[in-house]
Structure 1
């Protein structure tokens, strides 16, 4: 019997990449590759990359350097790069890393099996064409059955917003929505296979269906998916604040299965900076939508993104961001220093703020959020939360799940409880985790 070939897959960046990686695993399984967690044991190494920040791009080349030494020992090792860096770099990636066998862009997953098979015969290849119409969804593979309790389901791809700092429209293409019927069908099949929670995924889910006559809008899509009997919990990401509608906000009050959590990136609390970013809303408008969400769903957990040191951000503008963060009361925050991305409008902006000042601002913001997150976690002690058990914790001696507000929770119990939505009393609130005890099974 022929020995199974091994795939080592590393995923960078956003949840869209996580979803794509699920599909990649299924595709490679179809041509005889099982997974390994050790690149030294791999016959095929694939990097699914992100180019949102310069640091992510640098990490890709750093990892490729590490894999180059493995390939010296195993000349038949195949190395491939996909995702946003692959889409952006294209031929340059093959030039910078001549030991790489294949490069596949964000619209080319459906070609990956053939590319790997060709690489097994010694052929290098690159596929980075855009497929900017709805037919591309028919080419993309669905993720295979893997026993997971939670899964991502792509509802749309691309973005039309062209925020001044963002590379996504350039590497993911324009907004294209998938057929609602096909989305509902995929979720139904996942629930039949044992999936309990689904996250509907897109660069800007709030714009779902708006460019496609005859399709529902995103609020109606949520209601259609929630009607599926086997589904226990529903989430979505990511939302652009300018496009979140009153009807979508009302879904948090009207759909019991919809988790009380939303990721709503503000990026800045300064109107001056928001305008330069081309975000399409003001601080006041953003806060009004936050207030409406809290009214519709008291206790909703809000997470967000903040960019520190965007060109034109002075100390006064940064202070406005600090007060916005305090007023929103984010459960958690993803924050980072602005890095120019080639091809974006902001890459041409003058930037005279010293790096040390940007770093100081970031550290101050992150310290404040760290205190806030810990305080919110500790405030949950004594409460009973609904936790969806996903499986074993990272240590393997307990269970791990998430509350509706997306708080990771560790609890004792039998592994057979995976996939169950349980009432759990929170007994300890840590910086990044909750500790809980099952109230009833």
Structure 2
């Protein structure tokens, strides 16, 4: 069904809402519309459109109270960026008068905030949409929405249009701030509302948020990615790199510190490319970290970094320590220069090892973790062995490991996926065996030592045990009064496992005693 047919059939709905300029241009012959599907062609473009910053976000009066006596439920898939987007979505819904619920049967609005980075993540979402159909039959007034990275894919939207008529609205990663308008359209019409901007919107500050807990907080410092690794869909689903202004980030972190948060995680698809897009300011991630380390908050981390943008100044600043933690997540993806070239990572094995050496020289106590893909097209047994040897040489203490999964629209998807699945699985098992062994070895020196633990809550396995993380992101389980939740405490380690530590509570650290 083409656009003309959709308009005539009523799938495209007239709207008085103002759309993004790129949308108006593409669909100008239909004037303004809320049928705004994603375009891979548009998403691949990297123009020089100026990004504007808006600090005056507010919900229109006509939408206030929309959610009175209504409840919402959000299911989140994927990375910390998606989790943070969910906090913003929840903030907007709460401002509209909705209440959150964990029970989908109570919900008046159900949103799936999706991840597109792997095929199995998409399949899970489609499976969940199928499970939600009976709820829609029971309650025709229920609104079901799909947002996040999957929404930015043409093939996904086409599949939903064809198969999942229980979905009422689809919106993308660039127009979350438009949620009140999208909900309004969904309530006013019985047709599916689709508003997905393929080109990036402006940077909207002061969006309301409902944060998960009051101990650790995510702070987005930039959006998008310009690296175009051949296997990755993110540059198309999240758009080009756009950095928030430093004064806005610093103000947000200061506010979180004043609110009692103990740890900040700075987020970006390629976080250490921060500031490269500034035309009026020579200010990069190292400068931001140098400013943030003066704020009275115990812990500051960042993720996810790309080796290409990990510059000497950033290393120099991180070496100052303090609240800048000596745990760095540094995705390598492969230990073979040949595979790295096919992946378009733009560094070699040798360059990566040189970077690691710089980091270790400047920060002798550093702990490094990574991401690795196995079974990439054309990966030989010898090249996979190079990945194992690099893992050992660097001395990584943990890794997120994946079997290569082709993503439609990426350059790698056009390559012949010539590694049999049984070979991919065997390589993953071998890699995971090494990862487990080295993690267990890295844990052993902790036995008998006292570590600082930020207590996050009860252990998932035993409510009588508390759990938290060290500065190096090691999970520690120990018994202590519940009043310790949210505090940084000293814990003596009495036993080590492959992925966690068991300890004995000693006391609240001195800084905590002073602050409390």
**Band the TM-score falls in, shorter-chain normalisation:** over 0.9
| 1:132 positional shift | 3.0
Aligned residue number for residue 36 of structure 1 = 101
Please tell me whether the aligned partners of residues 384 and 426 of structure 1 are also in contact (alpha carbons under 8 angstroms).
yes
Relative to 1, partners in 2 of residues 1:253 and 1:203: Cα closer, same or farther, differing over 3 Å? same
| 1:41 positional shift | 2.8
Moved more, 35-44 or 49-58: 35-44
Q: How does 1:34-433 map to 2 (within 5 A)?
A: 34-88=99-153, 89-123=156-190, 124-130=192-198, 132=200, 135-138=202-205, 141-144=207-210, 147-212=213-278, 213-229=280-296, 231-394=297-460, 395-433=462-500
Relative to 1, partners in 2 of residues 1:322 and 1:6: Cα closer, same or farther, differing over 3 Å? same
- Aligned residue-pair number: 437
| 1:113 positional shift | 2.5
**What CA deviation, in whole Å up to 9, does each residue of 1:315-357 have, x standing for no partner?**
1100101111111222211111111111111111123221111
Please tell me whether the aligned partners of residues 137 and 178 of structure 1 are also in contact (alpha carbons under 8 angstroms).
no
Please tell me whether the aligned partners of residues 42 and 77 of structure 1 are also in contact (alpha carbons under 8 angstroms).
yes
Within 1, Cα distance between the matches of 2:383 and 2:266?
34
- Which runs of 5 or more structure 2 residues have no equivalent in the other structure? 1-66, 509-516
Within 1, Cα distance between the matches of 2:412 and 2:441?
36
- The answer to whether residue 82 in structure 2 is matched with residue 14 in structure 1 is no
**What CA deviation, in whole Å up to 9, does each residue of 1:372-431 have, x standing for no partner?**
222322332212212112233334323221111111222222333333222221222223
| 1:309 positional shift | 0.7
Tell me, what secondary structure is at the counterpart of 2:424? helix
Please tell me whether the aligned partners of residues 90 and 128 of structure 1 are also in contact (alpha carbons under 8 angstroms).
no
- Which runs of 5 or more structure 1 residues have no equivalent in the other structure? none
| 1:439 positional shift | 2.5
| 1:189 positional shift | 1.3
Tell me, what secondary structure is at the counterpart of 1:254? coil
Relative to 1, partners in 2 of residues 1:130 and 1:180: Cα closer, same or farther, differing over 3 Å? farther
Tell me, what secondary structure is at the counterpart of 2:120? helix
Aligned residue number for residue 438 of structure 1 = 505
Within 2, Cα distance between the matches of 1:117 and 1:330?
49
Tell me, what secondary structure is at the counterpart of 1:152? strand
Please tell me whether the aligned partners of residues 87 and 212 of structure 2 are also in contact (alpha carbons under 8 angstroms).
no
| 1:96 positional shift | 2.7
Within 2, Cα distance between the matches of 1:148 and 1:327?
39
Larger-Rg structure? 2
| 1:215 positional shift | 4.9
CA RMSD of aligned residues (A): 1.9
Please tell me whether the aligned partners of residues 145 and 193 of structure 1 are also in contact (alpha carbons under 8 angstroms).
no
Relative to 1, partners in 2 of residues 1:23 and 1:215: Cα closer, same or farther, differing over 3 Å? farther
Within 2, Cα distance between the matches of 1:64 and 1:417?
40
**What CA deviation, in whole Å up to 9, does each residue of 1:13-60 have, x standing for no partner?**
111111111111111111222222232332221111111111111111
Within 2, Cα distance between the matches of 1:193 and 1:91?
44
Please tell me whether the aligned partners of residues 199 and 235 of structure 1 are also in contact (alpha carbons under 8 angstroms).
yes
Relative to 1, partners in 2 of residues 1:91 and 1:115: Cα closer, same or farther, differing over 3 Å? farther
Tell me, what secondary structure is at the counterpart of 1:333? strand
